[in-house]
Chain A
Amino acid sequence: MLTQFKKYIQQKTRITDEHFDIISRDLVSRKVKKDTILLREGDVCSEVFFVASGLLKAYTIDNLGKEHIIQFGPEDSWVSDRNSFYFSLPAMFYIDAIEDSEIVCIKKEFYEKAEKLIPGFNSFTVMILHNSIRFMQKRISLLLGATAEQRYLDFIELYPNLTLRVPQWMIASYLGIRPESLSRVRKELARKNFKPN
């Protein structure tokens, strides 16, 4: 698990093996089974989860018990409730493993140590934040003003292999549409694009 995390960090920053050993000393790696709940709404989230393998989801549950998926976290993703992690407020999200997963649990101290030791780590985390803000802005814009088909096309660009890994209802939940609407979108795409050979 840490090997994958190290590989990822070394691809993104100029960290030496020695420095990685220092900053990773207190990191906890976990193997979690599918359906393990890693965070509950209302709890304080003290960790960011780096996904070394497997798949996580962050989601809310509304008053009617319906689940709304905020984020999927496949390999090399960072999943957390930032409201809780950074501001120490109660979590807004649940975080679960959708597949058997290997995760690295990262606490605030890791960031503090890494910022001191690794050249470029700060700008790397800023880049990650900008990137996630960029995707969130796009997502808000699509949720407010795009058709279900446009949202689906954006989804498959961002997560090309998730259609093979998660059930339809989860994709529909992420897109903010009903599963039947997702079926209609896929049927319509097939009508437009399927050319039997």
Chain B
Amino acid sequence: MKAKTIEKILPPPAPHMVGDGFRVHNFFPSGFNMANNRMSPFFMMDYNSKIDFSPREKPRGVGVHPHRGFETVTIAYQGKIAHYDSTGNSGTISKGDVQWMTAASGILHKEYHEEEFSKSGGPFQMIQLWVNLPAKDKMSKPKYQAIANNELGKYSLDNGGVVEIIAGEFKGVKGRASTFTPIEMYNVRIKKGGELTFNLPENFNSGILVVEGEVNVNGQKAPTDNFILFKNEGETISIKADKDSILFVLSGEPINEPIVAYGPFLMNTHEELQQAMDDFNKGKFGYLED
């Protein structure tokens, strides 16, 4: 198989705050003005690179807001996030855990630093992805998949590293998350000097975020907090770790449908967007106390 071509290695764009709890680099769509379908089915990726939050009694975070038409995937690398939603769900996303929330027809939720973490303060690092849904599933029922770290599929690497499979399948090991379209999503935890080769389909939009460490991918060096954006050419990815590293690998089959986005809504037409706004304003997403 042919090596997957790297389009560019993107440094983290200037950060901005989401609420007062998340200091994020938006790699796409806005960070580098990518077309909004460039990474389809992934519409958006916010990366909170590692930062120390000072202790605080009142947790920082983002208050009640709606979502419709897609899924949010939150992966915690450091720190803890507490979340609550209008269907009555609540929970904590701790270090190493994944929360896969299907907003679909509509949900209200809020996300804060977990209370004890907020009181003690400390390092905080996470990713939030927005995964688009195909038109036929946009109005399906909201649901949650809370996947604790020990429930992730694990593939052991020779030198003590491990690949955690969140979604899809890696060398025969399946990820726990169920997805609406074909998606591969892994955390590669690789030790210094470790090597790894795997394939991702050519037509899938693919990228790797270097969460920790430094690696050489298909002959190019990628430091911490950089995002390796691949072209849709070739399949094979060969990694050599220059340091102990954590890589977030994402790859998915594009959804070839129009995208009309505004704020927290991701629909196919302007009419659907207006409807989403109206439904939210009129309480059709339910209610959640701020």
Contacts and interface: CB of A to CB of B under 8 A. Distances in A.
B290 A183 contact: yes
Interface stretch (A36-44, A85-93, A189-197): A189-197
Nearest to A192: B283
B264 A164 contact: yes
A194 B290 contact: no
Interface string A153-167: 100100011011100
Contacts of B290: 168, 183
B282 A193 contact: yes
Interface stretch (B120-128, B231-239, B273-281): B273-281
B65 interface: yes
A197 B87 CA distance: 11
Given A161-B263, A168-B290, A191-B287, A197 B105 contact: yes
Interface in A74-117: none
B55 interface: no
A183 B87 CA distance: 18
The residue among B264, B278, B283, B289 with the most chain A CB atoms within 10 A of its own CB is B283
Contacts of A156: 278, 281-282
Interface string A168-197: 100000000000000100111111111111
Contact of A194 (B65, B264, B286): B286
Interface in B86-128: 87, 105
A83 B274 CA distance: 35
A37 to B, nearest CB: 22
B11 to A, nearest CB: 24
A183 B289 contact: yes
B198 interface: no
Contacts of A191: 283, 287
Given A196-B87, A197-B105, A197-B141, A163 B281 contact: yes
Contact of B283 (A164, A194, A196): A194
Contacts of B277: 160-161, 164
Given A164-B65, A164-B263, A189 B282 contact: yes
B16 to A, nearest CB: 11
Interface string B51-67: 00000000000000110
B87 to A, nearest CB: 7
B287 A186 contact: yes
A186 B285 CA distance: 11
Contacts of B264: 164
B139 interface: yes
Contacts of B274: 160
Contacts of B284: 190, 193-195
Nearest to B284: A193
Contact of A163 (B105, B141, B280): B280
Q: Which of B262, B274, B286 counts the most chain A CB atoms within 10 A?
A: B286
Contacts of B285: 190, 194
Contacts of B289: 183
17 contacts: A156-B278, A160-B274, A160-B277, A160-B281, A161-B262, A164-B280, A168-B290, A183-B289, A183-B290, A187-B287, A190-B284, A190-B286, A191-B283, A194-B287, A196-B87, A196-B141, A196-B286
Given A156-B278, A156-B282, A190-B286, 9 more contacts: A156-B281, A160-B278, A160-B281, A190-B284, A190-B287, A194-B283, A194-B285, A194-B286, A197-B139
